[in-house]
Amino acid sequence: MELVQDYEQQYAVQTAEITAQIGRIAQASGAERNKLISDVDRQLEESQELLEQIGLEIRDIPQGSRAAYTSRLNCYQAEWKRLQQEFGNAKAARPKAGYDSSVDDFDEIGIQEDQKRRLLDNTERLERTSNYLNDAYRVTIETEQIGAQVLSDLSQQRETIQRSRARLRETDADLSR
């Protein structure tokens, strides 16, 4: 599980970098734009490989904990698809042509800050959801243990009642003689 958490941290850092670079693609032009596009392409491939590694590691996790990790992996995969779509949109967009580059710089900063804020919001939401799922799983396990204990108690009580019934029949038979 520790390896999965390491992969998750690497994935979070990488998606933050990808998000920042996607925001810069729309503003860049020429060689800088091409470099950003190739960097994001490479990082998307690396992040996909990280997701595959997470998936492989999840298979080795005990069945009880696997559901929470699988849910998180599904969220990561949805986020990866969204990043891929944003990357496609950024590549398709034409760089802004303008004479005032300082305005573009401020727009870029605003976009990056907005993307960082959204990424942090999504990360917090994912963490809250993970905590909620972990709590639900814990309650489920506790309920299952209580149910198993109740069944065990009922089984013991049934055996006691059956033994008592058998003794009563024997006593009744002895008294009838």
What residue ranges do the domains of the chain occupy?
2-148
Summarize pLDDT for 100-115 with one digit per residue, the tens: 444 445 455 666 788 8
Topology adopted by domain 2-148: Methane Monooxygenase Hydroxylase; Chain G, domain 1 (1.20.58)
Mean of pLDDT over the chain:
85
**Chain center to CA of 63:** 16
Region 14-23 average pLDDT: 88
Name the pLDDT band for 126 (thresholds 50, 70, 90).
confident
Summarize pLDDT for 113-123 with one digit per residue, the tens: 888 888 888 88
- Assessment of whether the complete model's pTM goes beyond 0.85: no
Summarize pLDDT for 25-78 with one digit per residue, the tens: 878 888 888 898 999 999 999 999 999 998 998 888 888 888 888 888 899 999
DSSP secondary structure letters along 100-115: -HHHHHHHHHHHHHHH
Q: Which SS3 state, helix, strand or coil, does residue 15 take? A: helix
> How far apart (Å, rounded) are the C-alpha atoms in residues 68 and 71?
5
Looking from the CA of 116 toward its CB, the CA atoms found within 13 Å total 10
The CA distances from residue 163 to 20, 160, 169, 172, in Å, are: 74, 5, 10, 14
